[in-house]
Amino acid sequence: MKAVIQRVSKASVTIKNKKVADIQQGLLILLGIEDLDTMEDINWLSKKIVNLRIFNDENNIMNNSLLEIQGDAIVVSQFTLHASTKKGNRPSYIKASKPESAIPMYEKFITQIENVLGKKVETGEFGADMKVELLNDGPVTIIIDSKDKK
């Protein structure tokens, strides 16, 4: 399971000219799921993201987590995070899970983030053509792969 997290001042997701998600200070989480991902990956990644100390404290040092600042979050499915570009110029997405297995994992991840954060998480729509707008704060962008946890 891969995630690209971006610390944002604000972010939103629009589908078919309708805003479906809108947050202020917090994290935009782009989530890629592969067939090898398990509930262990969901648990580890959700806790890691919510507790990652990337928000400034009173001394302007990145020392606070999303949980500590009680920030917002948007989770957006992003199968292209598992793109392989080894051969040719057309990326291969063979490692990305098919919707029938990815959607339940995506939904479990959202539920787990909500449980750890203690509040509702905004989302995009799995498989939809989404327009994601954000004001990256910092900029701070971090890539986390649950397969690198050991």
* Ramachandran class of 144: left when φ > 0, alpha when ψ lies in -120 to 50, beta otherwise: beta
| CATH, domain range 2-148 | 3.50.80.10
pLDDT in tens, 37-49: 999 999 999 999 9
> Does residue 74 carry a pLDDT above 90?
yes
Q: For the chain, what is the mean pLDDT?
A: 95
- Confidence category of residue 7, pLDDT binned at 50, 70, 90: very high
Measuring CA to CA, which residue among 116, 2, 107 is closest to residue 51? 116
Q: At what angle do helices 99-117 and 39-51 cross, to 10 degrees?
A: 40
DSSP state of 91: P
Measuring CA to CA, which residue among 36, 33, 28 is closest to residue 11? 28
Domain ranges for the chain, please list them.
2-148
Distance CA(46)–CA(42), nearest Å, equals: 6
Verdict on whether the full-model pTM lies above 0.75: yes
Q: Is 80 a catalytic residue?
A: yes
3-state secondary structure of 143: strand
Q: According to the model, what pLDDT value does residue 95 have?
A: 87
Other C-beta atoms closer than 10 Å to the C-beta of 36 total 11
Catalytic residue among 14, 38, 80, 85: 80
Q: According to the model, what pLDDT value does residue 94 have?
A: 85
pLDDT in tens, 105-136: 999 999 999 999 999 999 999 999 999 999 99
